Amino acid sequence: MVPLNQWIKIKAPATVANMVCGFDILGFAVNNPYDEMEMRLVNRAAGQASITIINIDDYNLPTDPEKNVAGAALLAMIEEYTANSIIEKSFADDATQTGLVDFSTIGFEVKINKLIKPGSGVGSSAASSAGAVVGANYLLGNPFTKDDLVRFAMNGEKVASGVKHADNIAPCIHGGVTLVRSIFPLEVIALPSPTLFVTIVHPQIEVRTADARSILKQNVQLKDAIKQWGNIAGLVAGLMKGDYDLIGRSLEDVIIEPVRSILIPGFDDLKKACKAAGALGGGISGSGPSIFFLSKEKETAIAVEKEMKKLYEGLELAHHTYVTTINQTGVEIEA
């Protein structure tokens, strides 16, 4: 366990969820942008909250732990830690020697500097949720596995979107590209991938995840489902084989994207321009409004960025762009 009052620094990466065809099951972490956080364990007075959240950005997000994504994730973690501690103490000859944290007298203090804009579609809520539980786990001496941390962080996603999903959380914690084979029970599979360059554009509009989910169709035609399954399988196979052409052919969504794309100005024109510039393929990042494209070469990724800027400058819509790579490590701790 890290001593009381000793701050640690946390770097939590942005993530791209769905990877076009893999709604709620595929995602990858990127090296830029990322959130910065600091955490420590502190003594707390009787009746004081076990989690104190301090915002050091301008987004004015809730600091009530139950309404904050990082707080909700930490509350779930504390609940399980406390339950396990009671069991462990009951079997210990001397409860004072177990090294367990007593959350009736100790709590977490968390500072959050969100460099990933909320509602941007690149895993802002996941970064805060994942960063919080990875940091807390380190402070406690790493009693939980990465999959445990994914489970806890999903509670933050429920606060953000109303649904527990792990396609952003899993790569944020595990790093690289991940496949969420199952939520209940949770099973996350790390996927190998060839070198890929990622170009992201974030039009400065907000698409709330809950809103983007609410417009989705609840019934899917069998022919569309079959095509989607083929694309998901093809994308996974392309990543594992390092087959860039197969990756490109498989980056197609016939179910979600046709509905969600209406929320993003210039989407269809942008997709055509980026493919013409040489991108393997791409689409909506998470629920949007950010859009991502994958490229084999850095030069192509830069050319794709130029097309993105050109289109949104033409639409007179403020935007941010990133040319980055896949982050293979996930959340990082600096003690």
Contact status, residue 70 vs residue 53, Cβ threshold 8 Å: yes
Residue 317 is classified by DSSP as: -
pLDDT tens track for 151-190 = 999 999 999 988 899 999 999 999 999 999 999 999 999 9
Contact status, residue 129 vs residue 153, Cβ threshold 8 Å: yes
Write down the pLDDT at residue 87.
67
pLDDT tens track for 282-309 = 999 998 999 999 999 999 999 999 999 9
- What confidence category does residue 88 fall into, taking pLDDT thresholds of 50, 70 and 90? low
Residue 2 is classified by DSSP as: P
Q: Does residue 172 sit in the same domain as residue 208?
A: no
Write down the pLDDT at residue 95.
47
Q: What SS3 state is found at 112?
A: strand
Write down the pLDDT at residue 47.
73
- Report percent pLDDT > 90 for the chain: 87
Active-site residues, by number, are 157, 209
Residue 52 lies in a domain: yes
- For the cut 80, the answer to whether the pLDDT of residue 86 exceeds it is no
- What confidence category does residue 98 fall into, taking pLDDT thresholds of 50, 70 and 90? low
Residue 162 lies in a domain: yes
pLDDT tens track for 32-48 = 999 999 999 999 987 78
Write down the pLDDT at residue 213.
82
* CA angle (167, 168, 169) in 5-degree steps: 100
CATH of the domain at 57: 3.30.230.10
Q: Does residue 222 sit in the same domain as residue 84?
A: no
Domain count, the chain: 2
Q: Does residue 181 sit in the same domain as residue 217?
A: no
Q: Does residue 218 sit in the same domain as residue 143?
A: no
User: What is the pLDDT averaged over residues 225-240?
Assistant: 98
Residue 3 is classified by DSSP as: P
Q: How far apart are CA 191 and CA 26, in angstroms?
A: 10
- For the cut 50, the answer to whether the pLDDT of residue 197 exceeds it is yes
- What mean pLDDT, rounded, does the chain reach? 94
Contact status, residue 281 vs residue 293, Cβ threshold 8 Å: yes
Q: Does residue 173 sit in the same domain as residue 269?
A: no
Q: Does residue 91 sit in the same domain as residue 220?
A: no
Q: How far apart are CA 130 and CA 13, in angstroms?
A: 9
User: Which residue from 114, 136, 134 is spatially nearest to 42, judged by alpha carbons?
Assistant: 136
- For the cut 80, the answer to whether the pLDDT of residue 93 exceeds it is no
User: What is the pLDDT averaged over residues 102-108?
Assistant: 93
Give the end of a domain, one of 142, 176, 191. 191
Residue 146 lies in a domain: yes
Q: Does residue 122 sit in the same domain as residue 221?
A: no
- What confidence category does residue 49 fall into, taking pLDDT thresholds of 50, 70 and 90? confident
